[in-house]
Each structure stands twice: as structure tokens, then as C-alpha cells.
Structure 1
Amino acid sequence: MAPLPDGFSYAEWNATYNALSFGIAAMGSATIFFWLQLPNVSKSYRTALTITGIVTSIATYHYVRIFNSWSETFKVVSKDGGDYKVQLTGAPFNDGYRYVDWLLTVPLLLIELILVMKLPQQETVSLSWKLGLASALMVALGYPGEIQEDLAVRWFWWCLSMIPFCYVVFTLAVGLAESTSKQPSPAAASLVSAARYLTVLSWCTYPFVYMVKSVGLAGPAATMYEQVGYSIADVMAKAVFGLLIWSIASEKSAVEESGKLLPIAVV
């Protein structure tokens, strides 16, 4: 855990403070919504929706910890009604919570998408293992570079983490295209496509945010952009993605329920 740079402006501190607060609110409210919706989907999709809620509940916990750590790292004061001054307290800012969160939730995000697609069992198990392990490896390889100030070291670990990253993104964008076309209704297929491409889009923000400190930005501004960028990407990849998982489960439940209704015979 490298010490934070001194010299944060109130605007930079406040932007990060509000982004972390937004993360708590988005993840927490999404968790409540997903679990309340469990009785409204068919039994075969409840596992996927349960995992969706687990993902956002884990994220809520970690965002609370990151928020508290950020608040404890600074002292914000106003003297004689003047502008707010931001001072470091000397307490460490523990951003490692993010990587613990990703290590737990990123594989689950992919598994919930596979489950809600309701693929053949063998394909479901195979994809869950492959994508889950690849995504966990991606996070594990990214962390050593994240905590380094040496640009060459950061780029080295970035390149390594991009190998499993590209495999997962390719599988989502191309490998699941045929399975998507086999969904039970055009609406379900459209929602699955949206979930796949939202995952790809939101995930693509992480490598660029990771590179913030590798392209000339430094000091408080780099830290602020990094924290705000990661927070926005997390909300998109978990809370918004979870809403698409719920929409898919609801649509497919409705299709399956309507298929069970037999037409009344006319005598």
C-alpha cells in the first residue's frame, strides 16, 4: 500500500468521496431489488438471480470499507469560514479491497450470465470453469502492477493480465453468439446480447483506468481519476449488468410459463 500523494484539492477529494458513496448506494439498492425479485422468476433462473444479488452485496461491503478508508485518510477542515483544506492524516488508504472484491465477484458475474442463458449442462459447466478461472487469473495478474510506482513494472503486469482478459472478452463477444441466437424469444436474445456487450464495454474501461498512472498523470489527479473511473465501471459491470440478468430471467420465465398454458379445446 503506497502512501497517497499530498496536495489534494477539495474538489479532487470530494469527487472520489461522492463516487464511492454512489457505489455503496447503487450496489446496496440493487442487492435488495434482486433478492426481492426471486419469487417472480421461474425456479430454473433463481440461482442466477441469487448470484447476482451476492455479487452486489459483496461489492456493497467492499465499497463501505473503501469509503471508510478514504474518509480516515484525510482531514477536511475550514478555518474561519474559508475554503475547505484537505490534509492527510497519516492513516493508510487501503485500495486492496477493490482487488479482493474483483477476485470474488468477477468470476461470479460470468457464471450468472452463463446460468441465465440456460445452456446445455456440459457447456454450462465447461464455460463456468474456463471463464471463471480466466477472470480470476486476470485480476490476480493485475494487482502486482497496481501497487507499483515503477512504470515498466506496471506495464509488464498489465500485459500479462491482458492475456486472460482478451480470452474472456473474445468468448463473450464471439464465442457465445451462436448460443445467444438460440434463446427462446427475440426479446430474450436481445437482452442476452445486451448483457454480453455491456460486460465487454464495462470491462474495457478497467485496462484504461489502470493505465492512468502510466501515461503521464501523477499525484492527486491520477488517484482521483482512478477511483472515480473504477467506481463507474463497477456500477456498470455489477448493478446495471445485474438488471439485465433480472430482465433476461423475467423474459424467459414469462415465455416458459406461457408455453405451459394449453389452449382450451372448443367443442
Structure 2
Amino acid sequence: MPQPGQESLWLWIGAIGMALGTIYFVARGWGVREKEEQTFFIVTSFITLTAFASYLSMATGFGLTEVTVGGRTLDIYWARYADWLITTPLLLLDLALLARADRNTIGTLIGLDVFMIATGLIAALTTVASFRLVWWGVSSGALLVLLYFLVGTLTTQAEKQDESVSSLFWTLRNLTIGLWVLYPIVWILGTESTLSFLPLYWETAVFMILDLSAKVGFGVLLLRSRSVLATARKPIEERERAPA
């Protein structure tokens, strides 16, 4: 079994960061009794808990495999893709719950997301260099379509909510877009594309920083105000009846 090299430092930092994030989110949500508010804390805690397991597996060498491309052996952290396959749909679910999105919108976003991660994994495991770039293009195309739905349909639904809710949605949406577009850029510049402009050590560091920002940072911003979450989960009719 291949073993992690010097980049394991970043993997351990990622594991510790995700663990601390999980503990913080569980503690924040411990006294929440409203079931619809609890959903945000549960979903967000499972995001970082899953990421913690992924980083721990990569740091200990379990989440790592090797792929030979053109006579060159590449270290591929498959656990990273397993993490993304679970956590990115949950991140989108948090956004969708905040926007009170309908089922079709949620299904479309999650379907596009799973397709994006799955094709990204194919890109990482394919043994022909040119095909790796083709699958990266397919995965990146799915990301662009997903972001189109985030900016369009989901934002339209979020704008129907209370001002405090829509403001939080805009903040989280922009954070998500800003970070997610960096992932395929890091991939194409790093070792997995075989271009290797970014060495594995720094590629691992950048992915770790992006993951902590996209998961722990996202969660801190989302869960910092219970009053906003309570407003987000109230039916619109109930809000309209509430006194000013």
C-alpha cells in the first residue's frame, strides 16, 4: 500500500481542523429543540465529520492509491473524492434548505453534483493522460452548469425569503462559488493532470485550505445566527402573519 509523504502534515492539519469544526457545530446545536432548525446543525456536522474521516484515512495512508500514466506513477487520494461525493451534496442541501428550494431544484443540484464528482474521479483514475483531461473537462462542465443553477434558480427562490435569510444565502452562495471554481484549477495545475505545475506537497496544502474554508468556514457562517435559521424554516404564510 502506498504511504503518504511530506504532504501528510497538511492531511493531519485537515483532519484536526475538521474534527474541531465538528465538535463546534455539535456544541452549537446541542440546545436546539426546533426540528427544522436542528436539520441545519445535523447536516453541517455530518459534512465536517465525513471530511474528518476522509482526512484521517489519507493521513494514515489508507485513502491513497497509485495510478500509472505514461510510465509515470501518480499518487491519487481517492478518499478525497469519496469525501466530496458525500459532503458537496450536503453543502448544496444546506443552501437549498436556506432558500426553501423545491424538490426538483434540489434533485437537479444534487444530481449535477454527483455527476461532477464521479467524472472527476474517473479523470483521476484514468491511465491515459489525454483521457484524464477529457474527463476533467466533462467534470468542469458539470460544475459550470451547477453554478448556473445556483446563480439562477436557487437564488430566485432565496430572494423570496426574509431579507436576513436572503442575505445569508448570498454570502454562502458567493463563498461556495468562489471556492468551488478553484478546485478544477488546482487539479489541472497539480499532479493529477500530469502537468505538475503544482507539486503534490503544495497541491495537498491548497486542497486542504479549500476544504476547510468550504466546509468549516461555510458552517461557521451558516450556524452563527439561530434567529436567521428559525426564520428560514418558517412557512412564508406564517412570516406574513407575524407582527412587524
Give the TM bin, normalised by the shorter chain.
0.7 to 0.9
The amino acid that maps onto 1:135 is: D
* TM-score normalized with structure 2 length: 0.80
1:217 paired with 2:196, answer yes
Partner of 1:78: none
Query: Residue 99 of structure 2 contacts residue 155 of structure 2 at CA under 8 Å; is this kept in 1?
Result: no
For 2:230, the aligned partner's letter is S
The CA distance in 2 between the partners of 1:144 and 1:176, in whole Å, is: 28
Q: Give 1 or 2 for the bigger CA radius of gyration.
A: 1
Specify every segment of 5 or more residues in structure 2 that has no aligned partner in the other structure, as ranges.
66-73
Map of 2:113 onto structure 1: 135
Q: Which amino acid aligns with 1:246?
A: L
Structure 1 residues 228 and 148: alpha-carbon distance in aligned structure 2, compared to 1, 3 A threshold: farther
- Within 5 Å, give how 1:154-193 maps onto structure 2: 154-185=132-163, 187-193=164-170
CA contact (8 A) 2:105 2:153 kept: no
CA distance in 2 between partners of 1:54 and 1:137 (Å) = 21
2:80 matched residue in structure 1: 98
Aligned partner of 1:244 in structure 2 is: 221
Equivalent residue number for residue 37 of structure 1: 28
CA shift at 1:180, angstroms? 2.5
State how 1:1-267 maps to structure 2 within 5 Å.
Answer: 14=6, 16-38=7-29, 39-40=31-32, 42-69=34-61, 95-119=77-101, 123=102, 125-148=103-126, 150-185=128-163, 187-212=164-189, 213=191, 214=193, 216-217=195-196, 222-247=199-224, 249-253=226-230
Aligned to 2:70: none
Q: 1:179 to 1:247 in 2, by over 3 A?
A: farther
TM norm structure 1: 0.74
Could you say what secondary structure the match of 1:37 adopts? Answer: helix
Cα RMSD for the two superposed structures: 3.2
Change (3 A) 1:170 1:262: closer
- Counterpart secondary structure, 1:182: coil
Deviation at 1:226, TM superposition (A): 2.1
2:196 and 2:177 mapped to 1: Cα distance? 26
Q: CA deviation at 1:117?
A: 2.8
8 Å contact kept, 1:49–1:245: no
Length, aligned pairs only: 227
**Counterpart-to-counterpart distance in 2, 1:262 and 1:197:** 32
How many Å apart are 1:207 and its aligned residue? Answer: 0.3
Q: What's the secondary structure of 1:176's corresponding residue? A: helix
- Kindly indicate whether the alpha-carbon contact (under 8 Å) linking 1:116 and 1:245 is maintained by their aligned counterparts in 2: no
- Code of the residue aligned with 2:37 in structure 1: it is Y
Q: Alpha carbons of 1:170 and 1:234: their partners in 2 closer, same or farther (altered >3 Å)?
A: same
Is the 1:24–1:60 contact (alpha carbons within 8 Å) kept by the matching residues of 2? yes
Go from structure 1 to structure 2 and tell me whether the alpha carbon gap of 1:52 and 1:261 turns closer, same or farther (over 3 Å shift): same
Larger relative CO (CA 8 A, sep 6+): 1 or 2?
A: 1
Q: CA deviation at 1:261?
A: 8.4
Counterpart residue identity of residue 128, structure 1: I
Q: 1:163 to 1:227 in 2, by over 3 A?
A: same
Matched-pair identity in %:
26
Change (3 A) 1:252 1:159: same
Distance 2:152 2:242 in 1: 35
Quote the residue 2:71 is aligned against: none
